[in-house]
Amino acid sequence: MAAPCILVIEDEQEIRRFLRASLGNHDYRVIEADNARDGLRQAEDQHPDLVLLDLGLPDVDGLEVIRRLRDWTTTPIIVVSARGREVEKVAALDAGADDYLTKPFSVGELLARIRVALRHATRAGESGESTFTRDELSVDLAARQVFVGPNEVHLTPIEFRLLATLIKHAGKVVTHRQLLKEVWGPDSVFETHYLRVYMAHLRRKIETDPARPHYLLTEAGIGYRLSTE
Amino acid sequence: MNDSRPDPDRLLARVQASEARAARGKLKIFFGAAPGVGKTYTMLEAGREQAKDGLDVVIGYIEPHARPETQALVLGLDVMARLEVPYRGTRLVEFDLDAALERRPQLILVDELAHSNAPGLTHAKRWQDVSRLLEAGISVYTTLNVQHLESLNDVIAQITGVAVSESVPDSIFENADEVELVDLPPGDLLERMREGKVYVAAQAERAVQHFFTKGNLMALRELALRKAAERVGAQMEDYRQEHGLAGANAVTERLLVCVSPSPFSVQLVRATRRIAAGMKAPWIAVHVETPRDARMSQTDHDRLAQTLHLVEQLGGETATVSGDHLADELIHYARSRNVSKIIIGKPNQPRWREWLRGSLVYEVTRKCGDIDVYVISGDPDKRPPRPSRSAELPRTQAGYAAAVASAVISSLICWPLASHLDPTNLLMVYLLGAVLIAVRFGGGPSVLASVLGVLSFDFFFVPPQYTFAVEDTQYVFTFFGMVATVLTISTLMSRVRFQADSARQRERRTASLFAISQQLAAARTPEQITAAATRHVADAVDAQVALLFLDEHGQMTPVGTEGGGVQPGAHDQAVARWVLEHGEAAGRGTDTLPGSEGLYLPLKAAHGTVGVMGILPPASWRANEPARLHLLEAFAGLVALAVERIDLAAEAARVRLQMETERLRSSLLSAVSHDLRTPLSVIIGGCSTLADESASLDAATRRELLASILEEANHLNRLVANLLDMTRLEAGALEVHKEWQSIEELVGAALGRMAKPLESHPVVTHLDPELPFVPMDDLLMEQVIVNLLENAAKYSPPGSPIEISAHAVDQELVVEVADRGKGLAEEDLPRIFEKFYRAKSSTSRTGAGLGLAICRGIVELHGGKIAAENRSGGGAVFRIRLPLSTNLPPIPVAEVSADV
C-alpha cells in the first residue's frame, strides 16, 4: 500500500518544517499548504488520506474549511488549536473534524492521533466490528455483553449505548454533543449533566479506580475518549 | 525720590491687568450732567455705527423715550425682550441679564447704569449686571448722569437740594475703557425742556422743576467736566508711569478718617474718598469704641454700620478699635498703619462743652506729630446728635432700690458706733456703702446712694442731730467730697466694665476662630468640617450654618447636617450656585440677590471656590455689620482651607497608591522576565550547542541536552500558560461556565494531563463514592487540581506519594491534595496564595509563583475557599472547600439494569 498522504494546512513555516520532518520520518507522504484556499485546492487535487488543519489560518475560518471539505469527502481531519480555545475545538469537532491537538504538542501525541484517525478511516468501508477488546475490557456489541477481566458487568441500556458509541469512535475524542445526540437523541444535546452522571456510573462499573480511569478518559471542556493506546 | 525707571512689580501688575482686560468686554460710558443732554441719542448713534461696521450689536435696554428722534435710531438694531417683573400689583420692566448672556452679542447697549433693579433679580443694581456682561466678554455702551457717582452724591445733594438715591461706585467710572462726555450748555438744555423734549419720569415732575434751574445745571455741568478731566488726568498719569516718565508718586500716602454714628460721618467718608482718589492713595475708616458707645441706641448702631458699609463700597478699608480715649487711640492706630493724613470733622458743639469735654480736633492736632490732619467742615445744620441713652435696664431699678437700702443699712450700722467714733469716721461707712453701690450698679444708683448717705449722715449724726441743718461748714466740703469720690469711682468702674466687656467680646471671637481652626486642622472628613463649622460659626454669630458642595448631580447639597443645619430650597440652591461660580458673597446684606433669606459666602481656597457656606441669620441681625461679615469671611477662609486640605490629602493618597501599584508592577515584571529568561537560556544554549558541535558530541551528551531542552520548553509552556491565566483572571476576562460536574471526573482528567510530571510520584486517591455534583467550570477546576499536583510534585522528593481526596462534609465539598515534602514554613503560610510569592525555602526554579494564586482566584470565583497547612507526619496539604448546592440537578429516572 502506498504511504498514506497527509495534507498539512498550516501558515507557520517552522511548524510545517518540523511536521514534515517527523511525519516524513514515519513514512507518511506530506503535502503542504500555507493558507486555506491553497489547502482546499490541494485536497481536491491530491485526495489526501488525512488533513491536518490549523484553526488559526489567516484567510478563511477553520470551521468553513471543514464544512467545505465535508461537503465532498469523509477524509479524516485533525484540527490544531491553541490552549484555552476549547470552544473552537468543540465547534470544529461538531462540524466534522475527527480529532484535535493542542499547541504546543509533542510528536508522540500527533502520531497517536493520526494512527487512530487513519484506522477509523480504513475501517469505515467495512462493516462494524462486533467485538471490542482492550486490556481487561471486552465488549460484545451484538450480544450486548461487557466483561472486565473475568467478571461480567451489567449495564443499563443507556450505559450500554454510551459505551457502544465510544467504542464506535474508539481512540477518537467524542464531543458531549455528539454523545448526547447519539445516545439520547437530538433533542437532548444540552443536557450535559445526564452525560456526566452516566459516565460516572460507567466508570464506577468498568474502571478499577474511577478517579484514575484507564479506558474512559475525560477531555475537559470537550468530551470523552475511549483510550486505545 | 523720583525714580524715573518704572517699578517692575507695578508694570507686571499692569501687564497682567491688561491681559485680563483683553478678555473682558469694553465699557463705554456716555456721561452727562443731567437728563436730557442727549446721552441715549449719542449712544444709539454710536451703536449704529458699530453695527454698520459689521459688529453684532444688540439693544439690551433703552428707557422708553418720548423723543421720536431717539426712537427712530432704535430701528434697524436688534432689540432684546425686556423682563417683566410683577411687583406690588404693577409690572416693572427690567433688563434681562440672563437672556443677554445667552445671546452673547459683541456689543450691547444698556441705558441708565445707575438704575436699581426690581426685587427678585439677581443683582440689586444695573451696574452689577453690566459688570457681569463685561466679564462674559460682551462690550457695553451705557449712559450715566454725574449725580449718580457715589463720591459726588452728597455734594450734588447740597447743590441741587435733591437727594439722589441711585448711585454707581466710582470705580466703575474710573475703570471704564472710554468715557464720552455729552455736553449741552445749560441754556440749550432748558430750551429743550420747555419744548418738552426731555424724558422725565412721571413721579419726578415736581423734583425736576426744582432740579432744572440754571444755577444747578451750571454746577452739574462743571462737576461733570471736572470728573471727565480727572479721568483724563489719571490716564495721563498711567501713561507716564508706564513709560517711565517722571511723575508724582503717591504710593506712600495713606489716609485715615474717623467715623462715628453721626450722620456727618457719611459726608466725611465721601470727602475722604475724593481726597484719596485725588492722591491715588489707600484709605481707612476707623471707628473708635469708647465706653460711651456701650450705650449706643439701635439707630446709631445701624447708622454706623451703614457708614462702614459705604466705606467698603467706596473702596476703603474699615477697622474698629476700642479704647478709652478717642484721640489717643486714633493716633495710635494711625501710627501703627503708617497713616500719612488723618481726616476728621470740624466740631460744631458750643464752646463751653468743648471746654468741658475736650475737643477731638484739638487733641488730635496736638498729638499727631508728623501726621497731617485735614479738618472737614460739614453742614452747619447737621449737628451730631447726643448719644441717646439706651432703654433703662430693669436692673437699674434694682440699683436704686439697693441705693436706698445701703443708706439705711449704713445708718443702722453707724448708730451703735456713734458714741465711739468721730463723725468723720462714721462717714466712711456711708462712703463704703455708696462705693459698693457704684461698683455693682453704676452711675445713677451710686449718686443716689451718696446723696442719701450724706443726708442720712447729716440727719442722724451731724450736730445738730435730727435736722438737715449743718453747723460746721466743713461738712459741706465733706459732702461734696463724698459725692465726687463716688462718682469718680462709678465712672471708672463703668469704663473698666466696658473695656472688660469689649475685651471679652473680642476674646470670644478670637477664641472661636482659634477653636474652629484647631478643630478644622484635625478634621478628616467633610462631615467633621461641617460639624466644626456649624458649632463655632453658629455660636459666634448666633445663626444656623450649612456647608454646601457641588455633588455629582450638579446640585448644591449640604454635607453632614443633622440638626442645626440649613436645608436649601430651590431659591437658595440658585444663590449658592451663583456664589460658587462667581466666588463672591451673595444673599442677605450683600448687593447680590439681597432678597434671599440666607447669606452665602464662598469658600475660597488656593485653587478656586470649593464650596459655599450658607448662613441663616436670625431676625435679630441688624443691617450690614462689616465687622461681622469680616468674621464670617475669616471663618469661611478657614473652612475652605480645611476642605482643600482634605481634598489634597485624598489626592495624595490616590497618587501614592498609583505609585505603589507602579512600583509593584515593575518589580513583578522583573521577576517574571527572569523566570522566562532562565528556561530560554537553557533552550537556546542547548540548541546552539547541538547545532554547532553536534559532530563532536557523543550520543549520550546529545540525548541529555535534548532532554533538558524539552524539559525547559515544557516548563516554559506551563509558565506562559500560568501567566495568561493570571492575566485573564485579573482582568476579569475569565469566563466561568458552570455546569454540574463530578469532581471525580475532573480529578481523573487532571491526573491524565499530569501523567508525565507525576511519573516519579505514586498517586493515591481517596474519593468518596457517590459524591454530589457541584456547579463548576470543568476547565478551570481541572486547572486548579493540575496546579496543586504540580506544586506537590515540585516540592516533594521523587518517590514520595501524593494523595488526592474528596469528601462531602457539612454542606461543603472538600478536596485535598497532600504531599510528603518539607512542608510549609510558618511565615509562608498566610502569603502563599499571593501572586508571585515564593516560599523562602524554595531553591528550585519554580513557575513564577503564580500557580497557587491562580488556584485561589478560580476557587473564589466558584464561591469557595482554599487553604494550606502542614500535615502530621511531614508535608503540606492544600484544601479546597466548595459550597454544596441544596438543589440537585434533575437526573433522569434510573433505569433498571437491563440484562440482555
Q: What are the cell numbers at B774?
A: 457541584
Task: Label residues A73-106 b or e (16+ Cβ within 10 Å = b).
Answer: eebbbbbbbeeebbebbbbbbbbbbbbbbbeeee
Cis link prior to B464 (omega < 30° from 0)?
yes
Confidence bin at A21 (pLDDT 50/70/90): very high
Higher pLDDT, A203 or B18: A203
Distance CA B834, CA A166 (A): 42
Nearest Cα of chain B lies from the Cα of A46 at a distance, in angstroms, of 35
DSSP conformation class of B461 = I
Identify from A83, A218, A222 which residue to disrupt to test chain B contact, counting B C-beta atoms within 10 A and taking the largest count: A218
Region B510-535: mean pLDDT is: 81
Long-range CB contacts for residues B890-899, cutoff 8 Å, separation at least 24: B891/A193, B891/A194, B891/A197, B892/A194, B892/A197, B894/A156, B895/A156, B895/A157, B895/A158, B896/A156, B897/A154, B897/A155, B897/A156, B898/A154, B898/A155, B898/A156, B898/A157, B898/A160, B899/A154
Nearest CB to A196; choose among B741, B752, B782: B741
**Taking CB atoms and an 8 Å cutoff, what residues of chain B touch A203?**
744-745, 748
DSSP conformation class of B458 = I
Given a cut of 70, whether residue B14 has pLDDT beyond it is yes
Higher pLDDT, A183 or B234: A183
pLDDT, residue B245, reads 58
Tell which A residues from 83 to 102 touch B, by Cβ distance under 8 Å: 83-84, 86
The residue count for chain A: 229
For the segment B653-694, what is each residue's pLDDT rounded down to a tens digit?
899 888 888 887 787 787 778 778 888 988 998 898 888 877
Region A169-193: mean pLDDT is: 86
Distance CA B557, CA B567 (A): 8
Is residue A180 within 8 angstroms of chain B, CB to CB?
Answer: no
Contact B201, B111 (CB under 8 A): no
Subunit contact B767:A211, Cβ cutoff 8 A = yes
Q: Torsions phi, psi of B602, nearest 5?
A: -75, 145
Helix (H, G, I), strand (E, B), or coil: what is residue B40? helix
CB atoms within 10 A of CB B194: 10
pLDDT, residue B299, reads 76
Nearest Cα of chain A lies from the Cα of B745 at a distance, in angstroms, of 6
**Taking CB atoms and an 8 Å cutoff, what residues of chain A touch B801?**
none
Distance CA A185, CA A195 (A): 12
**Taking CB atoms and an 8 Å cutoff, what residues of chain A touch B722?**
none
**Taking CB atoms and an 8 Å cutoff, what residues of chain B touch A211?**
744, 747-748, 751, 765, 767, 804
**Taking CB atoms and an 8 Å cutoff, what residues of chain A touch B752?**
213, 217-218
Rounded to 5°, angle at Cα A13 from A7 and A18: 70
Nearest Cα of chain B lies from the Cα of A42 at a distance, in angstroms, of 33
Nearest Cα of chain A lies from the Cα of B699 at a distance, in angstroms, of 19
Helix (H, G, I), strand (E, B), or coil: what is residue B136? coil
Confidence bin at B564 (pLDDT 50/70/90): very low
Distance CA B659, CA B671 (A): 18
Strands A131-134 and A137-140: antiparallel
Residue B198 CA: distances (Å) to CA of A133, B34, B69, B202 = 124, 10, 12, 12
Is residue A192 within 8 angstroms of chain B, CB to CB?
Answer: yes
Subunit contact A196:B742, Cβ cutoff 8 A = yes
Interface pTM (ipTM) of the complex? Answer: 0.89
Helix (H, G, I), strand (E, B), or coil: what is residue A101? strand
For the segment B33-58, what is each residue's pLDDT rounded down to a tens digit?
888 888 888 999 999 898 888 888 99
Q: How far, in whole angstroms, is CA B612 from its chain's centroid?
A: 6
Given a cut of 60, whether residue A69 has pLDDT beyond it is yes
Given a cut of 50, whether residue B391 has pLDDT beyond it is no
Distance CA A162, CA A179 (A): 7
Cell 473552537 sits on residue: A88
Cell 469537532 sits on residue: A93
**Taking CB atoms and an 8 Å cutoff, what residues of chain A touch B744?**
200, 203, 210-211
Q: What percent of chain B has pLDDT over 90?
A: 11
Chain B residue at shortest CA distance from A218: B749
Given a cut of 50, whether residue B383 has pLDDT beyond it is no
Distance CA B589, CA B603 (A): 18
Subunit contact A156:B767, Cβ cutoff 8 A = no
**Taking CB atoms and an 8 Å cutoff, what residues of chain A touch B899?**
154
A23 contacts: CB under 8 Å, gap ≥ 6: A6, A8, A30, A110, A114
Given a cut of 70, whether residue B610 has pLDDT beyond it is yes
Q: Torsions phi, psi of A217, nearest 5?
A: -90, 140
Cell 430701528 sits on residue: B75
pTM (2 d.p.):
0.50
Is residue A186 within 8 angstroms of chain B, CB to CB?
Answer: no
Contact A184, A178 (CB under 8 A): no
Nearest Cα of chain B lies from the Cα of A189 at a distance, in angstroms, of 14
Is residue B805 within 8 angstroms of chain A, CB to CB?
Answer: no
Identify from A85, A196, A199, A206 which residue to disrupt to test chain B contact, counting B C-beta atoms within 10 A and taking the largest count: A196
Subunit contact B896:A156, Cβ cutoff 8 A = yes
Rounded to 5°, angle at Cα B100 from B94 and B104: 165
Subunit contact B746:A220, Cβ cutoff 8 A = yes
CB atoms within 10 A of CB A35: 14
Tell which B residues from 752 to 781 touch A, by Cβ distance under 8 Å: 752, 763, 765, 767, 769, 773, 778-779
**Mean pLDDT for chain B?**
80
**Taking CB atoms and an 8 Å cutoff, what residues of chain B touch A158?**
895
Nearest CB to A200; choose among B742, B763, B782: B742
pLDDT, residue A98, reads 93
pLDDT, residue B597, reads 77
